[in-house]
Amino acid sequence: MPQISTPVWLITGCSTGFGRELAKLVLARGWRAVVTARDAARVADLAAGAEDRVLALPLDVTKPDQVAAAVAGAQERFGRIDVLVNNAGYGYQASVEEGEEEKIRAQFDANVFGLFALTRAVLPVMRAQRSGHIINITSVAGLIGFPGSGYYAASKHAVEGWSDALAAEVGPLGLRVTCVEPGPFRTDWAGRSLVQTPSRIADYAETAGARLKATAENSGTQAGDPVRAAEAMIRVTESASPPRHLVLGAWGFEAVTERMRARLKEIEASEAVSRGADFPAES
């Protein structure tokens, strides 16, 4: 992102967790921000004393009219958007077999299709500027599928793959894309942003069932600090060479690097089979 004295941030999901802490830090720096939540009353306090720099708006990313209104409001008030933070979303936990169709689709509407829609609405603004940074909050689950989190992981994997394509398309235009992949953080994710379908099949008691139980029991004791996570996101936007991936938290870093090394080893072990699937080389 170019060095602009008061960049404009558009942040979704600012009522709690990462979104709220990030909005507070952005505003503490004297920058401008569009802060959003499904209920705008829950973010109105962020504008107190800084009304000239803050626009608090209702935004449910699954509602196209609200997506359009948020982007139009940002342009009307500030004339630009320098950073888009796609933070809105929630978790859905269930064993794969016991997943409920309505809940699966609702999660994808918020975590995937809503994120896609808002980004599409912001891209014309950033393209015209020839600058901008898109930060997609995914999860360690966007790189690793854990038992009990198959559908949540699928939504985050979708955003990761989509972000690869987006980065390739907009990079030459001066835009940057970063996926932030937090591990366990001490937000109220389990209390406010998690839906579960309890596992009642005995065969899954030690896998999906155990993970669902642990998620609820460990809320509030996670090692990750959401304020430090927000600070890390700001540093990414100030970097001349921002990372495409930013894993946050020691647990997440260790889990992801271990899984990536194991995956590469597995792929390389089948190299002969992989190469053998091509037509034979002509002599």
Is 100:143 a contact under the CB 8 Å cutoff?
no
Asked about 152 being catalytic, the answer comes back as yes
Is 43:64 a contact under the CB 8 Å cutoff?
no
Residue of 90, 92, 151, 152 with catalytic role: 152
Angle between helices 17-28 and 226-238 (to 10 degrees): 60
* Spatial separation of the C-alpha atoms in residues 114 and 129, rounded to whole Å: 23
Amino acid code (one letter) for 79: G
Is 47:96 a contact under the CB 8 Å cutoff?
no
Give the torsion through C-alpha atoms of 139, 55, 5, 72, to 10 deg: 80
The encoded tokens of residue 128 equal 């015209």
Please give the helix or strand (H or E) that residue 198 lies within, else none. Answer: none
The encoded tokens of residue 248 equal 């946050």
Phi, psi of 180 (to 5 degrees): -100, 125
* Spatial separation of the C-alpha atoms in residues 230 and 185, rounded to whole Å: 12
Q: Helix (H, G, I), strand (E, B), or coil: what is residue 68?
A: helix
* Spatial separation of the C-alpha atoms in residues 195 and 106, rounded to whole Å: 11
Catalytic residue IDs: 152
